[in-house]
Amino acid sequence: MAFVNEKISEQDWEWVAKLVNYECIKAISRWIHKFHIPSFWTVDRERNAFLIQLGGGGSPDDIGRMPYAVLILDGQVIVFNVVRRGTGDGTVGRHVIDEVHELIVPSVLELRREGIKQLLREALEEDTYCRPFADGGTVADPNMTARSNVKSFSVEFK
């Protein structure tokens, strides 16, 4: 059981689009900006968990404009803001801290909140390594094999 980065298949994209669209997410978090589902995600199919970064629209210090992401777990959508901070670069290696803000867990999953936090740690770490636009990767055909040089990674829940 491990998360991997992969391109979203057409069949999976249709399923995701029903769960993760502007109207559905706006009903959960009123600050969400317009977004497009990317062509790739971070998944653990054995645990039925799918992380999708939705992006953001401004300063990561502005609560209403922080980047959004979702974790689909057992068909339920968990919405949160994630701000990536860090030091270093791709040559010497990066030290990355992801800050998770406003974690909105559906009531049917509330008893699993601590387990969800652990899933998020694992998914966000794998996502940190993803370099979809490296070596000619594009939006339509992302590079799912290129890896970032990450020296350390941690998640803080705010």
Instruction: Please give the pLDDT value at position 55.
Output: 84
Structure confidence by residue, pLDDT tens digits, 128-157: 999 999 999 999 999 999 999 999 999 999
Q: What is the pLDDT of residues 20-42, one digit of tens each?
A: 999 999 899 877 888 889 999 99
pLDDT score recorded for residue 7: 96
pLDDT digits (tens, 9 = 90+) for 41-97: 999 999 999 999 998 755 555 655 678 999 999 999 999 999 999 999 888 999 999
Average pLDDT of the residues of the chain: 92
Q: Which of 151, 123, 129 is nearest to 2 (CA)?
A: 123
Number of domains in the chain: 1
Residues 6+ apart with CB under 8 A from 96: 84, 85, 86, 128, 150, 152, 153, 154
Q: Are 35 and 23 in contact (CB under 8 A)?
A: no
pLDDT of residue 59: 55
Does residue 9 surpass a pLDDT of 60?
yes
Q: Which pLDDT value is given to residue 31? A: 79
**What is the rounded CA–CA span in Å between residue 112 and residue 86?**
29
Which residue range(s) make up the domain with 75?
4-157
CATH code (residue 111): 3.40.630
